[in-house]
Structure 1
Amino acid sequence: MNIKKSFLKWPGGKGRIIELLLSYLPTNGRFIEPFVGAGNVFINVDAKSYILTDSNSDLINVYHWLKSDATILINETKALFDSEVDFYELRNQFNLSSKRHTLEQAAKFIWLNRHCFNGLCRYNRNGNFNVPKGKHSNTYFPEQELINFSKKLCDTDVLLTACDFRTTITKAESNDIIYCDPPYLGPFNGSFVGYTSNSFDYIKTQELEKCLFDAVKRGAIAIISNSDNPITQEIFNKFNIHSIESPRSIAANGNRKPAKEIIGVLTPEMINNSQQKDLTK
């Protein structure tokens, strides 16, 4: 299989396990991704139409420009890559801009992503991008990946929106396929500081499960990814859980051993069967 790559570096991106993940994703119907991130799943899934959303409006701004005018975005970004701009000066310019949805901001977001530490996307409580500079001798400019991503956005029926998962999942209807790859919960306190200024914690993960369960009751199919631990196993206990191992892209303690993850699947048939069993008890 010819696996396509995103133009973004993204911690937890599904590029490393996409072949395995695709085996759980139906390809007919409308594909909904409330945590689109780097878009590694989107560019490798064939569907009739797509709803791609993320709470990170800077990210969605890049996708809007790739869909509306990729050439001008690529040229603007290439100019930054060819310059000798200081990382912290550009990061400061990015954070101080009063207009976040411009061409310039989209180009700076891509530049920061490729030059920061391990492609991490993180914001402080004030909403400022605060990832430090990475250790790069030569930074790769992902021109072909930008072109490929733009082509997929332009050649397919795609709705792009910056919003939270609740708003997105309420749009799900019968025969839609929802894939969720939220910030992962840790195994101990169930907390994780997400990729935006608002953390994604145990309570929000519970809310996500409820939203997905309700969508599946309306006829959708839900697939989730998360870390494999007792907390996530308990939250998604109505799902059919598959345990997998995924290569790590970031490890603060230097541990690069494969991480244990889950892929959970919930279908309308599973809910109906469960309800029928309850009635016969």
Structure 2
Amino acid sequence: MNIEKSFLKWPGGKGRIIDKLLPHFPKDCQFIEPFVGAGNVFINVSAKSYILADINHDLINTYSWLKDDLAMLYNTTKELFDTENDFYDIRSQFNHPKFRETVKLAAQFIYLNRHGFNGMCRYNKKGEFNVPKGKHKNIYFPGAEMINFSNKLLYSDVSLLCCDFTQTIGLAGAGSVIYCDPPYLTKHKDSFVGYTPSGFCYSDTELLADCLYDAVLRGATAIISNCDNSATRDIFHRFKLHSIDAPRSVAANGNRKPAKEIIGVLTPDML
């Protein structure tokens, strides 16, 4: 299977389990992704239309520039990569921009993603990107991946939204396929809190499950992925759950052994 790669590094990126996900997606559907992240599923899924959403404004701004003016973003980003810059100076500029939604901000987002520690995307409660510099010998400029991603955005029926998952899932109707890869629950009532300043917790995951159930009542199909533990199995108990082994992308203790994860599927005929 030829798996396309995103131009972004992303903790938990679905490129590592895309071969296990794809068999669950019907073709020629409206594909809705409320937690689009690095977009590894989007670039590998065939659908008649796409709604890609995320609450991370910087991410959606970057996607918007890729779709609307690839040349401008490509050149601005390449100049950043080719110039000797201080990582923390770029991070400070990124955190205190004069204007939002600029190509400079999108280029800095890609720069920080590739130069930061393990490609993490983390914000503090002030909304400041606070990932430290990574220990890289060579930094890869993802020019080919940017072009490939831009082409899919440009030549497909794609809508980009910056909003929370409840709004995005509310757009789903009969025949829609919703794929959700939310921040993973690491233990009961706890989860990684970094992709946005507000974080994501146990109650958010419960709300997600309820929203997806309501969408399936309207005729949509819901597919989720998460870590395999008692908390997630309890929350998504109405789904058919498939246990899988997934390669780890980030492990603070150096553990790179495969992690136990689940893929959950809920279709209208299961209700």
* Counterparts of 1:27 and 1:214, CA distance in 2: 22
Letter in 2 for 1:241: L
Deviations 1:50-92 (CA, angstroms, capped at 9, x unpaired) = 0000000100000000000101100000000000010000000
Q: Deviation of residue 238 (structure 1)?
A: 0.2
Letter in 2 for 1:116: G
* Counterparts of 1:114 and 1:25, CA distance in 2: 30
- State the match for 2:212 in structure 1: 212
Deviations 1:103-157 (CA, angstroms, capped at 9, x unpaired) = 0000000000000000000000000000000001110000000000000000000
Matched, 1:144 2:118: no
Letter in 2 for 1:228: D
Deviations 1:177-236 (CA, angstroms, capped at 9, x unpaired) = 000000000134433313110111000000000000000000000000000000000000
CA contact 1:190–1:231 (8 Å) conserved in 2: no
* Counterparts of 2:34 and 2:2, CA distance in 1: 25
- State the match for 2:172 in structure 1: 172
Q: Deviation of residue 243 (structure 1)?
A: 0.3
* Counterparts of 2:251 and 2:143, CA distance in 1: 28
* C-alpha RMSD over aligned residues: 0.8
CA contact 1:30–1:48 (8 Å) conserved in 2: yes
Identity of aligned residues (%): 65
Q: Deviation of residue 159 (structure 1)?
A: 0.3
Map 1:53-68 onto structure 2 (within 5 A). Answer: 53-68=53-68
- State the match for 2:135 in structure 1: 135
- State the match for 1:279 in structure 2: none
CA radius of gyration, larger in: 1
Deviations 1:225-272 (CA, angstroms, capped at 9, x unpaired) = 00000000000000000000100011001111101000000000001x
CA contact 1:187–1:231 (8 Å) conserved in 2: yes
Map 1:122-271 onto structure 2 (within 5 A). Answer: 122-271=122-271
- State the match for 2:72 in structure 1: 72
SS of the residue aligned with 1:52? strand
- State the match for 1:29 in structure 2: 29
- State the match for 1:20 in structure 2: 20
Letter in 1 for 2:201: D
* Counterparts of 1:178 and 1:6, CA distance in 2: 20
SS of the residue aligned with 1:186? strand
Q: Deviation of residue 33 (structure 1)?
A: 0.1
SS of the residue aligned with 1:23? helix
CA contact 2:189–2:203 (8 Å) conserved in 1: no
SS of the residue aligned with 2:187? coil
SS of the residue aligned with 1:118? helix
* Counterparts of 2:28 and 2:240, CA distance in 1: 20
SS of the residue aligned with 1:214? helix
Q: Structure 1 runs of 4+ off > 6 angstroms?
A: none
- Per mean C-alpha deviation after superposition, the further-off stretch among 176-185 and 91-100 is 91-100
TM-score, normalised with respect to structure 1: 0.95
* Counterparts of 1:213 and 1:29, CA distance in 2: 18
CA contact 1:191–1:202 (8 Å) conserved in 2: yes
Q: Count residues in correspondence.
A: 271
* Counterparts of 1:216 and 1:194, CA distance in 2: 29
Letter in 1 for 2:135: K
CA contact 2:124–2:194 (8 Å) conserved in 1: no
SS of the residue aligned with 1:91? helix
SS of the residue aligned with 1:8? coil
TM-score, normalised with respect to structure 2: 0.99
CA contact 2:176–2:219 (8 Å) conserved in 1: yes
- State the match for 2:82 in structure 1: 82
Letter in 2 for 1:70: L
* Counterparts of 2:40 and 2:101, CA distance in 1: 22
- State the match for 1:114 in structure 2: 114
